[in-house]
Structure formats: structure tokens, C-alpha cells
A = this chain, B = another copy of it.
Amino acid sequence: MSPDFLLLFADRAGVFVFAISGGIVAVRKQMDLFGVIVMAFLPAIGGGTLRDLILSQPVFWLEDTQILGLAVAGGLAAFFFHRWLENFRPLRWADAFGMALFAVTGAAKATALGFGLPVVLIMGTMTASAGGLLRDVVANEEPLLLKKDIYATAALLGSAVYFVICMWGGDEALAFALGLAAAFVLRALAIIFHLSLPRSPF
């Protein structure tokens, strides 16, 4: 398998896993089938859509509708198998991988357009986590993303690593791999050791 194929496969897997996360929240909130599908779309394509709108780029899924099919599939998976999926440990790791991948993808898109570090950090983090935030806001839940867990911070780190390696003249593929690894490892450490960012102690 070529690296390009692997990457494409990983990207699609990320969409599917993120969609499941939305569908599970929807089932827990007792939404109907349509609500489950909508809630699957939010984390799967919400962050990338916002990124593309702000960067004045064509929204990525308009020309790549396979993405939409995978989002629907993730929603259906949650609808039918949520009980089993909620306690399915590997899903957490797939989600961490999806987050890392989305972050580096977003950072790469902004870097390719010539933006500097601040915008690259925002776009990487937004691609990885704005969809999950939208999911929680629409479900009328406290956005967990903003309250606990090192999640978006890992996306931030991955974006930064990608950008710095690119700026230092490193190979783009290397930057991609190391950014992805950095985000994933930090997220993994946070899961294993229950790491959290501090709250205001004042």
C-alpha cells in the first residue's frame, strides 16, 4: 500500500469514528434517527467546514461526497450498536488518532496557503475539535472539550510541530508524521494518566 492510500484510508476512518461520537451523544439524548444522523455530521465534518469557510476555501466535502456517506454510516453504527460501542475501548484510541490526523490536516491546509503560526495553530485545532464542540452545543450539553481532558491541546501541539518542521525546511511528509505522532502521544498520555489542564485556581 502506498503512503497516499494509507493516508486516505486513515482520513476516512477518522470521519467515521468522529461520526460515531456524535451519534452516541444523540442516542443518549434520545434523539430520533434523523437527529442521530445530524449529530453524526457535526463532529465528522463540522470542524473542517468551519476551517474552509474562514480560509475562503471550497468546503472539502462538496467535491468529496464519500465523506458524507461515511458520516451517515457512523451515525447508523451509533444508532444500532451504541450500547456496544460506548464501552468499546479501542474507539477511544481511534478517536485520538482521528483528532491527531484532523489537526495535522488542518495545519497543513493553512500552511500551504502561506499563513503564519497563529493562524496555522487555530486551523489545526479547529479542524480537530470545533466539530466536537458543535456536537455538545447542539446537544445542549456542557462542552466537555472546554472543561477537562487534554484534547484540543494535543491538536494544538500537533499543529505546532507540523508548522515548525515545515519552517525549518523539513520534508512535508516528515512534518505530517511527526505532528501526527506528537498529537496522538500527548492525547494517549492524557488518557492513560488522566492528565488535565489546570482550571483557574484564583
A122 and B62 alpha carbons, distance in the complex (Å): 10
Which residue of chain B lies nearest to A84 when distances are taken between CB atoms in the complex? B202
Copies in the complex: 3
Contact between A133 and B138, CB atoms less than 8 A apart: yes
Contacts from A to B (Cβ < 8 Å): 26-27, 29-36, 38-39, 49, 53-56, 58-59, 62, 65, 68-69, 78-83, 115-116, 118-119, 122, 133, 137-138, 140-143, 145-148, 152-153, 156, 196-200, 202
A192 and B149 alpha carbons, distance in the complex (Å): 42
- Which residues in B have their C-beta under 8 angstroms from that of A79? 200, 202
Which residue of chain B lies nearest to A83 when distances are taken between CB atoms in the complex? B202
Asked if A56 meets B58 with Cβ closer than 8 Å, knowing A34-B152, A65-B119, the reply is yes
Contact between A141 and B140, CB atoms less than 8 A apart: yes
Q: Which of these, B68, B122, B146, contacts A34 with CB under 8 Å?
A: B146
Contact between B80 and A202, CB atoms less than 8 A apart: yes
Asked if A147 meets B200 with Cβ closer than 8 Å, knowing A65-B116, A115-B62, A116-B65, the reply is no
- Which residues in B have their C-beta under 8 angstroms from that of A145? 34-35
- Which residues in B have their C-beta under 8 angstroms from that of A152? 34, 38
